[in-house]
Structure 1
Amino acid sequence: MNAREPTFRQRLGAVLFADVVGYSRLMGRNEIDTYKALRALLEQLEAACVEHNGQFVDVKGDGILARFDTATDAVLFGVELQRITESSNADLPLAQRISFRVGIHLGEFLLDDRGIHGDIVNIAARLQELAEPGRVFVSSSVYEQVRNKLRLGYEFLGPQMLKNIEQPVPIFCIRTEVEGATMAATVRPSAPSMGYSRPDTPSIAVLPFDIRGGDDSESWLAEGLTEDIILALSKFKNLFVINRNTSFAFRAPDVPPSKAATKLGVRYVVRGSVQRAKTKLRIKVELIDTDSSRTIWGETYDRDQEDIFEIQDEMTESIVGAAAVLVEAEERRRFSASIPSDLAAYGFVLRAQQLIFKYTRRDNEHARMLYEQALSLDGKYARASAALSRTLNIDWRYSWNEDGDQALDTALSYARRAADLDPTDARAFGELGFVHLYRKEHDAALGAYDRALKLNPNDADLLSDYADALAHSGQNEAAIQHLQRAMRLNPFFPDQYLWHLGGAYYNLKQYDAVIETVSKMNNPTEGQRMLAASYAQLGQLDLARKIADKHRVVHPNFSIKRWEQIIPDRLEEDTQHFLEGLEKAGF
């Protein structure tokens, strides 16, 4: 007698895979408490899954497999899972906290009485393995379904090869801090091949330094040194230096320098490593000419950590010299970074740098605390004062601080203090420019940005902010030119650059260019106002009003009256032109 054939059905849906980070470590430290805590948490999560129209298919030890009929429900539950988990950790010591990685994929799966099967499950599991603790990673099939429906942040991480999956899978990281996601650097899906032509001047990319010794807790030192070298090199007008955000996208140590150079359109690549043992540092660095695949300069520094500033100066000077850039000695001296009087203050700044570019409310707050600690140790540390101003600026921009306008005023005072302490600090003048712009002091804003870019002509974020100030001052053609250069210096530019570019095109009434530009944003809900206004100005009112309806769902509190008060246009006709488009679209 033949065994009964198994019965199954093919279904289309979304699969979520979640796994506890460091489960074996947690169990090894306290098996009973970890088991009880996880069991209680899983009960909460299963109830939340049902509320989001989902079903737990399998729970094995530290892993969850759940299925949903729609990608929207799966993503909303993924976000809720992380919120519930974070809330349950609030009163626990750091070593006892439970953290999940989550992966979600959309497609067909096989459903039988034993569960669900197929590539969709494998891909969700592999996405989970790539995810950072506390994050939700989704495939492009999920992103396409939710991008215009949910007000979440989406950071494109590029196509990734997953174990036992033949074709690369484009991956997005979900962020609840949608405002911060528009400022975070990201691979651009619209230009995956990149391959930029080289500029006429010597061009350099500094790849992230590796930490040797396997201690990830020291990554702040390697990242801080990398960023400082980029900052020092970017101040030379005779060099073309790729922005830190784009450089940091090439973190993998096995990325060949020639491949990075080809993608970024540069000739020279700097790479290195950092190893620390108590108070000793070993820093290895090399400069590679990718045309000849030859290391044209390399050095190993075995020093006390107190010598770190001397090492930085030597590295910068050697890299500049090896790249055959003629820089006057006086200019080189003027561009040297200000050294704090306290080495611990520098350590706080490097740790804060690792946080500030994440653009989340919590990381921004943590960075501010570290900058304040640095200033408490060295009250004349200009760099810490300028960076503290930046954290307050971000707070104000996204209403993360209850102080409101007071945060902007405090940011102004810190930026002024930094500029007084160190007149060569470009970032201090950039912060001054931002504050003056939103105080509608346009001449002061443009003057501050102009001075900042004279000090650091290769700072892509400064160029983008300056372009925004130019556009709000009626100088839209100049704004577009600066944004194009910013995008070349930082090919992995954030959505914010596209928002600034779209605003300049809108002022020039080039509505088709606005639509093309805003449509490239990874976070389309943040560009819907400009998109709707542009379609309305083109007479496509039905489409404009559909976009406006989508905007109301994700931005229910948007007010034209409030926007009119915030928008810092010098020309009243520019403000009215945008409001006209919004009103035609039905806002």
Structure 2
Amino acid sequence: MNVNTTSPNSSMTQKLGAVLFADVVGYSRLMSENELDTYNALKSLISQLEQSCARFQGRVVEVRGDGILALFETATSAVEFGIELHRIASQHNQTRPETQRIKFRAGVHLGEILIDDRGIHGDNVNIAARLQEIAEPERVYVSSAVYDQVCNRLRYGYEFLGPKQLKNILAPVSTYCVRSEVAGATMAGTMRPGMPGDILERPDTPSVAVLPFASHGGDETDSWIAEGLTDDIIMNLSKFRNLFVIARNSSFFFKTQAMPPKEAAQKLNVRYVARGSVRRSASRIRITAELVDASTERTIWGERFDRKIDDIFDILDEVTECIVAATAVMIESHEKQRMIQSAPSDLEAYGSVLQGQHHIFKYTRNDNRKAQDFYKNALERDEGYARAAAALSRTLNIDWRYSWTEDPSDALNQALTFAQRAIELDPTDARGFGELGYVHLYRKEHDAAIQSYQRALALNPNDADMHSDFADALAHSGDNETAITHIQQAMRLNPYFPDQYLWHLGGAYYNLRRYEDVIETVNKMNNPTEGQRMLAASYAQLGQTELARQIAEKHRAVHPNFSLKRWGSVLPDRLEEDTQHFVEGLKKAGF
């Protein structure tokens, strides 16, 4: 859509407004496959969107082909409509075949625009259009100008994607992805404004980041294989104490960025970068892998594996072994033994686990359910598959954490059962112990929780999320200083850490009465609405009651059903004084 055409004779006015641009994903393909059906379906859908737009105090300025351009009085209305647009499209798609579903990507920007009788124009309109171009399907990408207006008003998840160089826009635009499920966004890895890579110290031990392997082949759906293999290599390497291994979240942040190994290594401040590719056919798989010394930009090891797909477990072991050997780390024999994971007896069970991994890290209710189904399928095919049992426990823990199920208590009990089963099947896999630690904590069985996390970290000392979860258990058990050291380690292993790490750190600081540190920590969260309780309580404890009450009012707007009594009962504190200390701060703030 050309949004720059103006008439020299038009009367022109300038106005501050929020612009939304939305476009259909794969429109040309849809039209080529079924032109008449696509045309009629899109026409009906756009009619619904125009009616909805008016309800958000906006108007669709132009519809051309597969795109809509809309103008709103406020950034808040524009973002709310962007989320509603995807909901309407999803509902519309329920009756359509998977290959014929109409999905949008959307961009929103706020600024001064030019208005005449032919429409709206100017650089700020173009920025919204360019944000749409880089957006993921069924997502809304917004500029920092929009984020600043909505972050404390709308209870959505906001993932900072960094400054983006948009086509034909001179200066990079700081960009955020909006997620309707705020709970999941608190667990997703993200950049943070003002946190450059050069603040990271280079570890004393050999350090490595495994970048996401590329998926080469005709079928894009095979990307889950490349993702899963990358996951497994990271997991295998992270078990070695003598290696420093960047966490999955931070490694996968580079998935869509065509970045030389040296630049990625500089951002993560590691010495070595491993990368590769995967190509699969019906019966064979070809994996290429290399390890680059970023300080010299020299490939110190490279290999191509062209094997039967049944040999995938041997390939995994070889790739891991070669990376370890190439970094010249002295590995003790018992550590090598720990690296070897129990392979399933059924290759399709392994495939189901890899597909589950593809969904679980998206942290949405729907993806968590899909992951759960894949893990159940893996266990049905191989009832002795410990990894599948641990992963299933994780999905149930997530269901409990965010009330993504009708019976959260039952989900927690099931999570306990599957974690125990995973440990019985493979007592050398850290994942089962980690899930067990989480269940014990929220059952308020503190000693058992700490012992489980200690065992997990002994088996996998480089698991960043495990360090963060362990820190949360320690803080709730009264050992806040130790909790802070584990959070700091988690943040170094996972530089693009999720908001959840900051929440855990803020909780430890609050217990220690370090209220200024709580405020500084919570203000770094990309989802400020999720830190408002802790923020309000800290300001109240500092005597800044008016500010605390303002934050409490914002909290009430996005959490109208919040119950202080229920919150106090859910907190898994070992010490009653810690619970009362938090409740006291919230009461002072007006909760």
Normalising by the smaller structure, the TM-score range is over 0.9
1:284 is paired with a residue of what secondary structure?
Answer: strand
Aligned to 2:58: 54
Quote how far apart the aligned CAs of 1:5 are: 4.0
Partner of 1:131: 135
* 1-structure distance, mates of 2:98, 2:17: 36
Q: How far, CA to CA, are the matches of 1:221 and 1:5 in structure 2?
A: 58
How many angstroms apart in 1 are the aligned matches of 2:257 and 2:559?
41
Aligned equivalent of 2:395: 391
1:13 to 1, 17, 21: 17
Q: Which residue of 1 aligns with 2:3?
A: none
Give the gaps of 5 or more residues in structure 2: 1-6
The alpha-carbon deviation at position 254 of structure 1 amounts to 2.9
Q: 1:185 aligns with which of 162, 184, 189?
A: 189
Listed one character per residue, the Cα deviations across residues 247-286 of structure 1 (whole Å, up to 9, x for unaligned) are 0011146311111111111101101111112211111101
* Partners of 2:359 and 2:408 in 1: CA distance: 22
Q: State whether structure 2 residue 207 is matched by structure 1 residue 203.
A: yes
Q: Does 1:501 align with 2:505?
A: yes
Of 322, 331, 334, which residue of structure 2 is paired with 1:330?
334
2:337 is equivalent to residue 302 of structure 1: no
The CA distance in 2 between the partners of 1:385 and 1:208, in whole Å, is 25
Q: From 146, 160, 185, give the equivalent of 2:164.
A: 160
Alignment-derived partner of residue 216 in structure 1: 220
* Structure 1 CA distance for aligned equivalents of residues 467 and 362 of structure 2: 20
Partner residue, 1:260: 264
User: Do the aligned residues in 1 keep the contact of 2:234 with 2:245 (CA within 8 Å)?
Assistant: yes
2:338–2:459 Cα contact (<8 Å) kept: no
Change (3 A) 1:36 1:252: closer
Alignment partner of 1:173 is 2:182: no
State yes or no: 1:586 paired with 2:579: no
Q: Look up the match of 2:481.
A: 477
| Cα pair 1:190 1:520 within 8 Å, conserved | no
> What residue in structure 1 maps to residue 123 of structure 2?
119
Matched, 1:317 2:321: yes
SS of equivalent to 1:259: helix
Runs of 4+ in structure 1 off by over 2 angstroms are 3-6, 192-195
Correspondence list, 1:182-581, <5 A? 182-252=186-256, 254-581=258-585
Q: Which residue of 2 aligns with 1:81?
A: 85
Q: CA offsets per residue over residues 551-577 of structure 1, 9 Å max, x none? A: 000000000100011000000000000
Question: How far apart in 2 are the matches of 1:9 and 1:139?
Answer: 23
CA distance in 2, matches of 1:445, 1:202: 31
Q: How far, CA to CA, are the matches of 2:93 and 2:244 in structure 1?
A: 46
Deviation at 1:193, TM superposition (A): 4.4
Q: Is 1:72 aligned with 2:99?
A: no
Instruction: Tell me, yes or no, if structure 1 residue 140 matches structure 2 residue 131.
Output: no
> Post-superposition shift, 1:214?
4.7
- Most deviating of 211-220 and 436-445: 211-220
2:49 to 34, 38, 45: 45
Deviations 1:283-304 (A, max 9, x none): 1101111122111111111101
- Cα deviation code 1:65-124 (max 9, x no counterpart): 000111001001111111111111112211221111111011111000000001111111
Q: Which amino acid aligns with 1:573?
A: E
Deviation at residue 52 of structure 1 after TM alignment = 0.4
Most deviating of 3-12 and 396-405: 3-12
Secondary structure of the structure 1 residue equivalent to 2:273? strand
3-state DSSP class of the match of 2:107? Answer: strand
CA distance in 1, matches of 2:426, 2:446: 23
Structure 1: stretches of 5+ with no match in the other structure:
none
Structure 2 matches for 1:12-31, cutoff 5 A?
A: 12-31=16-35
* Alpha-carbon distance in structure 1 between the residues aligned to 2:206 and 2:55: 58
**Structure 2 partner of 1:33:** 37
Give the aligned residue type for 1:130: I
Report Cα offsets for 1:333-361 as digits up to 9, x if no partner. Answer: 12211100000000011011011011100
- Contact 1:195 1:262 (8 Å CA) reproduced: no
Tell me, yes or no, if the aligned pair for 1:544 and 1:585 is still in contact at 8 Å: yes
> Conserved in 1, the CA contact under 8 Å of 2:236 and 2:339?
yes
User: 2:404 & 2:56 partners in 1: Cα distance?
Assistant: 28
Give, as a single letter, the amino acid of the residue that structure 2 aligns with 1:533.
A
- Give CA-to-partner distance per residue, 1:188-223, whole Å, 9 cap, x none: 113044452211101000001111235321110111
Letter paired with 1:14: A
Measured in 2, the distance between the counterparts of 1:452 and 1:110 equals 59
Paired residue secondary structure (2:70): strand
In the TM superposition, residue 6 of structure 1 has moved relative to its aligned partner by 2.8
1:250 is paired with a residue whose SS is coil
Separation in structure 2 between the aligned mates of residue 313 and residue 436 of structure 1, nearest angstrom? 33
1:102 aligns with 2:106: yes
| Structure 1 residue 548 displacement after superposition | 0.2
Amino acid at match of 1:44: Q
Q: Does the 8 Å contact 2:239/2:335 carry over to 1?
A: no
How has the CA–CA distance of structure 1 residues 4 and 106 changed in structure 2, closer, same or farther, with 3 Å as cutoff?
closer
Alignment check: 8 A CA contact 2:197 2:266 kept? no
1:111 and 1:117 in contact (8 A); partners too: yes
Question: What code does the residue aligned with 2:323 have?
Answer: I
Contact 2:239–2:338 under 8 Å retained in 1: no
How far apart are the structure 1 equivalents of 2:214 and 2:202? 26
SS in 2 for 1:478: helix
Separation of aligned partners in 2, 1:494 and 1:385:
25
TM-score, scaled to structure 1: 0.98
SS at match of 2:108: strand
Q: Deviations over 1:508-560 (max 9, x none)?
A: 00000000000000000000000000000000000000000000000000001
CA–CA distance in 2 between the matches of 1:423 and 1:6? Answer: 75
Aligned-pair Cα RMSD in Å? 1.1
Structure 2 CA distance for aligned equivalents of residues 41 and 455 of structure 1: 52
Q: Which residue of 1 aligns with 2:4?
A: none
Partners of 2:370 and 2:16 in 1: how far apart? Answer: 42
2:97 match: 93
Q: Report the residue type matching 1:199 in the other structure.
A: P
Amino acid at match of 2:528: P
Shift of 1:388: 0.3
In 2, the alpha carbon distance for the partners of 1:33 and 1:317 equals 53
